[in-house]
Amino acid sequence: MDIQSLLEEIAGSVRPVAAAGEVADYIPGLSSVSADHFGICVATADGEIYGAGEWTSKFSIQSISKVFSLGLVLAGDGDRIWQRVFREPSGTPFNSLVQLESEEGIPRNPFINAGALVVTDRLITLTGDAGAAVRDLLRRESGNPDVAVDPLVAASEAEYGHRNSSLAHLLASYGNLENPVDLVLEQYFDQCALEMSCRDLAVGARFLSRNGVAADGSQFLSSSQTKRINAVMLTCGTYDAAGEFAYRVGLPGKSGVGGGIVAVVPGRCTICVWSPGLSKSGNSLAGMAALDEFTTRTGWSIF
């Protein structure tokens, strides 16, 4: 299969879709990006890298960071986190508060904001600095020592972070935070504000396609832990569009409101797409179309 030509064809065919999406506007730091960028990268489990479009341009990884913080907590602490967060799809927007109250402070899953705040909180306890732990993991796994936070996006998240603040205070009111609310928010914003390219994210997530084996050959996660992260990505990684994503793409995937999506073909490769125009559910419109076309044309799906 000629993956390079396929990616170039896909980059050509989905560009018109990109302009139809809405760029995230909940913070000024993201709203200035234009909707019609598009990049795609495939990193195979055995080390090949293919890319098309703007695959080396940096963008805000946002909620894609939640996969890496969860990985670090599972690696450091085993299954303990599952006492503080469920692993069920929420069917509500990523920043929703409603279920947190009806379910007494236990978030539905680690990929909605409430769940990610709990994971970040645990990572602070384990490492002292969750933002730096996620950044360093991504530097190591992507092989790019320059992976860093965009300070303008981080500051914007903090300034306009009223919903995340409410979620964190609600979690604290139920006793589901171990660290001070302000510290948890600061480090959650830092991990969301990391800037990376499709290339760096596809390569950086490769352990998910390699049974947990890290870039240096060490076992970062067990194969069972890796399978479970992929399962939670499939069921919860694209919020209330997870059903549609499984139907159209057929892979575990994690999106962010910066317009990136990372998808995993276990045993074979990771794929990262980026296009900032979003659907109503906060997932990249052209990114989803590109992954749909990629899995349809290659037949690479978990189903």
Active site residues: 63, 66, 188, 239, 257
144 labelled as ligand-binding? no
3-state helix, strand, coil in the chain (%, to 5): 50, 15, 35
174 labelled as ligand-binding? no
C-alpha 139/C-alpha 146 separation (Å) is 7
Query: Is residue 90 a contact residue for ligand GLN (CB under 6 A)?
Result: no
Contact between residue 210 and residue 218 where contact means Cβ atoms under 8 Å apart: no
257 labelled as ligand-binding? yes
Query: Is residue 277 a contact residue for ligand GLN (CB under 6 A)?
Result: no
Query: Is residue 70 a contact residue for ligand GLN (CB under 6 A)?
Result: no
Nearer to ligand GLN, 192 or 201 (CB): 192
247 labelled as ligand-binding? no
Q: Any alpha helices (H) in the chain, and if so which ranges?
A: 3-18, 28-31, 65-77, 98-102, 113-127, 130-142, 151-159, 162-173, 181-192, 198-204, 223-236, 242-248, 285-298
C-alpha 226/C-alpha 163 separation (Å) is 31
- Residue 214: CB minimum distance to ligand GLN, A: 25
Helix or strand run (H / E) with residue 51: strand 49-53
- Residue 195: CB minimum distance to ligand GLN, A: 13
Per-residue string for binding with ligand GLN, 191-230, x by CB under 6 A? -x--------------------------------------
Per-residue string for binding with ligand GLN, 106-125, x by CB under 6 A? -------x------------
157 labelled as ligand-binding? yes
Query: Is residue 50 a contact residue for ligand GLN (CB under 6 A)?
Result: no
Query: Is residue 238 a contact residue for ligand GLN (CB under 6 A)?
Result: no
Query: Is residue 164 a contact residue for ligand GLN (CB under 6 A)?
Result: yes
Nearer to ligand GLN, 191 or 211 (CB): 191
Query: Is residue 262 a contact residue for ligand GLN (CB under 6 A)?
Result: no
113 labelled as ligand-binding? yes
Among 94, 220, 274, 294, binds ligand GLN (CB under 6 A): 94
Contact between residue 203 and residue 143 where contact means Cβ atoms under 8 Å apart: yes
Among 257, 278, 285, 291, binds ligand GLN (CB under 6 A): 257
Nearer to ligand GLN, 191 or 226 (CB): 191
Nearer to ligand GLN, 195 or 293 (CB): 195
**Order of strands across the sheet that contains 49-53:** 49-53, 39-44, 269-274, 260-265, 253-255
Amino acid identity for residue 144 in this structure: N
Contact between residue 260 and residue 30 where contact means Cβ atoms under 8 Å apart: no
Question: What are residue 85's phi and psi, to 5 degrees?
Answer: -150, 135
- Residue 4: CB minimum distance to ligand GLN, A: 29
How far is residue 266 CA from its own chain's centroid? 17
Among 51, 89, 259, 282, binds ligand GLN (CB under 6 A): 282
176 labelled as ligand-binding? no
Amino acid identity for residue 65 in this structure: S
Among 39, 41, 51, 63, binds ligand GLN (CB under 6 A): 63
Q: Supply the Cα-derived Rg of the chain in whole angstroms.
A: 17
- Name the one residue in this structure whose structure tokens are 């320059």: 146
